[in-house]
Amino acid sequence: MNEMKSFELWPIGVIRSPYRESGEIPKGPGAKHDAEGVLELRSELEPGLADIDGFSHLFVVWIFDRSEGYDLTAHPPIDDRPHGVFATRSPRRPNPLGLTVVRLLRREGPRLFVRGVDMLDGTPFVDIKPYLSSVPADELRRGWIDEVETRTRR
């Protein structure tokens, strides 16, 4: 039975970001993530970046390495109501994986210069994938976030 087996991940690199503390990272309604950072891939993995330059945006999968434990209910900063952790992007989740879409600015060898980081400096990452969005905008539903935006606009 493979379904409930544990899988080990290892960092393929480290993210350089301007943020030293969580409080510096923009949060809340309308927060903009336009900070620049660098994805420093382990040099032995550099061949895996071949052909990445053609993509404007990337998914980065990373580890909330400074978060401990998890809660099944989260209290996002944009709402005064609790939500199930899997309906949020809380760092306190059963598997502490973060997912961020960044814009690829340029590549220098194993270093990817990107815009849109929302993680702390020194955060380990475990994967990079090209961002391909195939969901038409009119089919996207944003759940409780749309409801909060409507409520707070009044």
| Contacts to ligand SAM by CB under 6 A | 22, 25, 27, 64-67, 89, 91, 98-100, 118-120, 123
**Closer residue to ligand SAM (CB): 86 or 109:** 86
**Closer residue to ligand SAM (CB): 64 or 112:** 64
**Closer residue to ligand SAM (CB): 91 or 110:** 91
Minimum distance of ligand SAM from residue 123's CB (angstroms):
4
Minimum distance of ligand SAM from residue 137's CB (angstroms):
20
Distance CA(10)–CA(32), nearest Å, equals 30
CA of 149: how far to CAs of 23, 70, 78, in Å? 22, 26, 9
Question: Taking a C-beta distance cutoff of 8 angstroms, is the pair 49, 106 a contact?
Answer: no
Distance CA(50)–CA(69), nearest Å, equals 37
**Closer residue to ligand SAM (CB): 11 or 49:** 11
Minimum distance of ligand SAM from residue 92's CB (angstroms):
9
Distance CA(64)–CA(43), nearest Å, equals 23
Best CA proximity match to 91, nearest among 22, 14, 143 = 22
Minimum distance of ligand SAM from residue 80's CB (angstroms):
17
